[in-house]
Amino acid sequence: MSTVLGVACAGGVVLAGDRVAVYRGQVRSRSRRHVFDFGRAGAAVVAADVDGFADRLAGDVRAYRTERGDLGIDPFTRLASDLADEFDASVVLAAADGGPCLRAVTANGGVATDDVAAFGSGTSVVLGALEAGHDPDATLDEATTLARDALSAAAERDAGTGTEFDVYRLPA
């Protein structure tokens, strides 16, 4: 499967994910991107069709910005939530809304707000590492290090989590 996560702190928000793609229990790729940069918004996605989800979300973001202007966390969350059920996608989102915000969208479109979030095969290991090391007053660099360490811990214990990571950073 793959593992993605998000960490919010005083320094901003970090999204990270590994690059493994698994299909029917077999690793099909170790170079599949799961973290996407939409300018002042980012998404980390776990889905069977990650690229399809990301392409549709990118189109929806472009259309929103053309029609309405800047994209805050609430409209970005609605766009992702509308697609989550169709693509069976779980998504961690970051966007500015007066300051960087983090949201988690489940595959059924449910939304949660927290300082840490994770989806994928290494979720339990990642959440354990994030909750043990999370500091709400951390800098963006410290949050990035925590995210990488959490994914590394998952990669050691979960065959569906790879050792190569992508990171999106949204500073405060």
Distant-in-sequence, close-in-space partners of 84: CB < 8 Å, separation ≥ 6: 90, 91, 105, 106, 107, 108, 109
**pLDDT band at 109, cuts 50/70/90?**
confident
Report how far residue 111's alpha carbon sits from residue 56's, in angstroms, rounded to the nearest whole number. Answer: 19
pLDDT of residue 1: 80
Residue pLDDT, tens place only, 33-60? 999 999 899 999 999 899 999 999 999 9
The stretch 152-166 carries a mean pLDDT of 93
Strands (E), the chain: 3-9, 12-18, 21-23, 26-29, 35-37, 41-46, 90-96, 100-105, 111-112, 116-120, 165-171
Percent of the chain with pLDDT over 90: 84
- Judged by average pLDDT, the poorest of 19-23, 43-47, 105-109 is 19-23
pLDDT of residue 30: 78
Instruction: State the pTM of this model.
Output: 0.94
Put the strands of the sheet holding 165-171 in their side by side order.
116-120, 3-9, 12-18, 165-171
The stretch 52-77 carries a mean pLDDT of 95
pLDDT of residue 23: 67
Residue pLDDT, tens place only, 117-145? 999 999 999 999 999 999 999 999 999 99
In this model, does residue 24 exceed pLDDT 80?
no
Token pair, residue 73, equals 């966390």
Find residue 120's DSSP bridge partners.
3
Residue pLDDT, tens place only, 74-105? 999 999 999 999 999 999 999 988 888 999 99
- What is the torsion angle, in degrees rounded to the nearest 10, for the CA atoms of residue 77, residue 5, residue 17 and residue 157? -150
**Residue 82, SS3?**
helix
CATH class of this structure's domain 3-166:
alpha beta
Report how far residue 47's alpha carbon sits from residue 37's, in angstroms, rounded to the nearest whole number. Answer: 17
Element (H, E) at 164: none
DSSP 18: E
